């Protein structure tokens, strides 16, 4: 199980680096849809679950100090985590 977690974390890091603009745009879209209630738990349960899960995993991954990342990228991710948390306050517990 630990190996699966490690591989998943490594894959996430590679995806975040390789597709940074697309991935952060997707996270922004998920955040806006939940914040603006275009996607709700009651009306769109599957879409809400997908968005909430991805946002939750991103926030969790970047709430702990990661070694080996570019310091500038770490700052950008920290800012994004803060924006996501503030935007979804009261809508989603992260």
Q: Is the pLDDT of residue 41 over 70?
A: yes
Answer yes or no: is 25 within a domain: yes
Residue 10 — very low, low, confident or very high, per pLDDT cuts 50/70/90? confident
Question: How far apart, in whole angstroms, are the C-alpha atoms of residue 94 and residue 88?
Answer: 8
Q: Is the pLDDT of residue 68 over 70?
A: no
pLDDT-above-90 percentage for the chain: 56
pTM over cut 0.85? no
pLDDT of the residue at 3: 66
Average pLDDT over residues 65-91: 86
Domain that holds residue 80: 2-87
Domain tally, the chain: 1
Quick one: which of 41, 44, 54, 40 has its CA closest to 94? 54
Answer yes or no: is 93 within a domain: no
């Amino acid at each position: 199980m630990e190996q699966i977690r490690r591989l998943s974390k490594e894959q996430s890091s590679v995806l975040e680096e390789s597709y940074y603009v697309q991935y952060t745009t997707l996270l922004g879209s998920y955040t806006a849809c939940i914040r603006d209630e275009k996607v709700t738990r009651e009306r769109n349960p599957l879409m809400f679950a997908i968005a909430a899960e991805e946002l939750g995993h991103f926030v969790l991954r970047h709430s702990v100090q990661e070694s080996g990342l570019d310091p500038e990228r770490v700052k950008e991710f920290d800012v994004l985590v803060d924006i996501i948390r503030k935007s979804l306050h009261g809508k989603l517990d992260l």
